[in-house]
Amino acid sequence: MRRLPKYDLVSIEDLAIPEIERIFELADMFAENLRDGVPSTRAGGLIMATLFYEPSTRTRLSFESAMNRLGGSVISSADMQASSAAKGESLADTVRVVSAYADLIVVRHPCDGAARVAAEYAPVPVINAGDGSREHPTQTLCDLYILRRKKGDLKGLTVAICGDLKFGRTVHSLIYALARFGANIVAVPYGGMDVPDYVLERLAAERNYKFSTVTIDELKSSFAGGLDALYLTPSAPHQMALFTSENPLEKVPEVRPPAALDAFYVTRLQKERLADKDRAAQGYGHFDVRALRTSRTQEAVVMHPLPRTDELAYELDTDPRAVYFEQAAAGVPVRMALVAWMLESAAREVLRPQAPEPPISFKHEPAPRCAHPTCITRSEGSYLRPRFRLASGSNRSRLALRCGFCERDSRVEYVGHATSHRYYHFDENLSGYVRQWIEEGTLAVFESVKEAEERGYEPYKRGPQREIMNAAEIARACEAIAAQAIADAADPTAIAIVGVVSRGAMLAMRLRDLIEAQTGVRPPCAALDVYGGDPRLRAIDGAETFNVDGRAIVLVDDVINSGWTVQRAMTALWQHGRPAAVKLAVLIDRGYRAVPIRPNYVGRNIPTTRAERVQVRLGIGAETRKNPDRVLLYSMVDSLRERESPT
Ligand code: NCD
């Protein structure tokens, strides 16, 4: 039986320019054959599976139509909620199972990097039909195909890309491709919806390519009154492709200076991906592209990946420059061409892009987590080991890890050395060592000092320490917190206490006893471990289960500073149910905050600097007599002096 080669299309960067050109040649042929009613049997006997975890009209149906038109057949899960995914089956298991039923998998998923995971676990080839806000390479093939048909050559074209450039995955794939073909890009984002940094950094690092960002009004005035204004902004001296690809397959295109705008590529606001802070961007949803019909823009075609919402007027549809329905129609011949090209490629050697450098291996378990909330590693189970490389934006004073799945960067504040078990606040003196530890496989990274200490790491050096709370003061603070929590709860018997492991959990038990003493009701109590791969909530007191639903939860931690730990604990709590209320109690508030979280009950406010460390020491039972409770403040001397070896 015929087989397709295990060739995955996850990013548009997986295709070299000559390969894209070959696909377009095939697409031209299929378009002609479709017009003339000439049937094809190229994919006879092959089955395509379409797995769509997100809604789709064009992409799924045109893939399926294409496969049928090639004489192949299709099995489809158009609504993954009707599949075993709804029972919690992992993506890895799903694609392994489906690989036994099909020769090719087309997958769409709401998480960034999902197609990469599918490609790694499926023995059959996987095509990305959109993964979160990351990429949508086959839409780009349709876009480029139409652009090329309308304009002849992609090289030197000027394309204004408008709308939601932050979450628009079609935009990201299109930008990577236009950069390679030597086109000029003008980004015209809705307010706050700019092209993300990771896309810009990748273009700058790998292709030395930059482009300008303008408002719609600036775009209008540039093209009405002359182009120069657009090119002379000091922050973006030019926006032409300075093409530096090392790939021998791709020649450096000569870019002609733009004289006119060749295309407006308009996109809708990706409402389903907006976080609360992005909501402000709403209301920018309408572009009247007709206003841009000046002498320099009149040749421009208007493109849209569809579906449109209100950003393109229906009156525009009859204008011959409106080509969005042609883009959608191209879905069939272009996707036929892609499958046919894969069949052809089985027979010949294709040059693949260079493999990226190997990921950093971390000695400690669990490996660090990707900070990007919609990364596939955050929603799939622990089978998926996070994978990072050093981010290209890392330098002596800034350390960041780039996720191998979603490609986003996570900034690293604290690093540790896995053999000496010391941790450090990252600064430029450490950058050489960190690189050495990466090579040795001894690098550990932490989100917070707290996490480092929970994992058994000690600060590199400690400065002088002083006691800022003694046992009596700690006891009084706990009593005050318990009294406030009781007074605030509409029904004190609904109180349940959750402490963040480990000192927050110890404090939680004390609060439980105090609340019991004051109300006569012993509130249920649980420990929440947020430092593992999957946060765990464990009942204390020998109870089998701990119920969050409808409870007035008091979430307890010893110290709050950046707020990351508490934020993570809140998220974990909501994964366990729907509390009636959540109040946050901390013994010490250090004042600095990276996320907007304010504790409801604070034992003491102690403004500190980053170089200081607050340590809460709590004894249990008999230990309390030997080592009384105390809160200590000490400075961390963790910056290395020259010639001093950190380990
Ligand atoms: C796009 C998508 O799903 O990313 N649609 C498509 O495939 N043509 C664009 C969108 O939904 O806005």
413 CA from centroid of ligand 1 (Å)? 36
Are 112 and 136 in contact by the 8 Å Cβ rule? The answer is: no
Tokens read off for 643: 């010639």
Ligand 1 atom closest to Cα of residue 108? 3
- Predicted pLDDT at 532: 59
Measuring CA to CA, which residue among 83, 173, 92 is closest to residue 129? 173
Strands 495-500 and 552-560: parallel
3-state secondary structure of 348: coil
Q: Is 632 in the pocket of ligand 1 (CB under 6 A)?
A: no
User: What is the DSSP secondary structure assignment for residue 209, as one 8-state letter?
Assistant: B
Q: Is 421 left (phi over 0), alpha (psi -120 to 50) or beta?
A: left
Q: Is 268 in the pocket of ligand 1 (CB under 6 A)?
A: yes
3-state secondary structure of 449: helix
Q: Is 305 in the pocket of ligand 1 (CB under 6 A)?
A: yes
Q: Is 113 left (phi over 0), alpha (psi -120 to 50) or beta?
A: left
User: What is the DSSP secondary structure assignment for residue 12, as one 8-state letter?
Assistant: G
307 CA from centroid of ligand 1 (Å)? 6
- Predicted pLDDT at 336: 98
Q: Which residues of the chain have pLDDT under 50?
A: 225-257, 283, 641-643
- Predicted pLDDT at 359: 85
Measuring CA to CA, which residue among 171, 279, 162 is closest to residue 216? 162
Nearest-angstrom CA–CA distance, 544 and 40: 62
519 CA from centroid of ligand 1 (Å)? 57
- Predicted pLDDT at 642: 40
Report the half-sphere exposure of 174 (CA within 13 A, side-chain side): 34
Write the residue with the smallest CA distance to atom 8 of ligand 1.
305
Beta strands in 5-152 (DSSP E): 47-52, 73-77, 104-109, 126-131
DSSP-assigned states of every residue in 286-334: ---GGGG-STTTTT-EEE--S---SSS-GGGGGSTTB-HHHHHHHHHHH
Please return the burial class of 41, using the count of CB atoms within 10 Å of its CB with bins 0-12, 13-18 and 19+: exposed
Tokens read off for 419: 């053999």
Tokens read off for 394: 């890392």
The helix or strand, by DSSP H or E, that contains position 514, with its residue range, turns out to be helix 503-519
Are 6 and 123 in contact by the 8 Å Cβ rule? The answer is: yes
128 CA from centroid of ligand 1 (Å)? 12
Q: What are phi and psi of 402, to 5 degrees?
A: -100, 125
- Residue written as tokens 């909620």? 81
172 CA from centroid of ligand 1 (Å)? 12
Give the strand order in the sheet containing 158-163: 212-213, 184-189, 158-163, 263-266, 301-303
Beta bridge pairs of residue 109? 131
Q: Is 163 in the pocket of ligand 1 (CB under 6 A)?
A: no
Nearest-angstrom CA–CA distance, 600 and 594: 17
141 CA from centroid of ligand 1 (Å)? 13
Q: Is 138 in the pocket of ligand 1 (CB under 6 A)?
A: no
Write the residue with the smallest CA distance to atom 7 of ligand 1.
59
Nearest-angstrom CA–CA distance, 280 and 206: 33
Ligand 1 atom closest to Cα of residue 130? 4
Domains of the chain, start order: 12-136+331-348 (3.40.50.1370), 138-329 (3.40.50.1370), 471-628 (3.40.50.2020)
Give helix then strand counts, H and E, for the chain. 17, 25
Q: What is the dihedral of CA 270, 276, 277, 282, to 10 degrees?
A: 50
Count of Cβ atoms closer than 10 Å to residue 217 Cβ: 10
Nearest-angstrom CA–CA distance, 554 and 107: 42
Measuring CA to CA, which residue among 351, 349, 149 is closest to residue 245? 351
CA 314 to centroid of chain Cα atoms? 34
500 CA from centroid of ligand 1 (Å)? 41
Nearest-angstrom CA–CA distance, 52 and 306: 17
Ligand 1 atom closest to Cα of residue 268? 12
Measuring CA to CA, which residue among 200, 228, 134 is closest to residue 173? 134
Q: What are phi and psi of 187, to 5 degrees?
A: -90, 130
- Predicted pLDDT at 236: 31
Beta bridge pairs of residue 553? 496, 582
Please return the burial class of 297, using the count of CB atoms within 10 Å of its CB with bins 0-12, 13-18 and 19+: buried
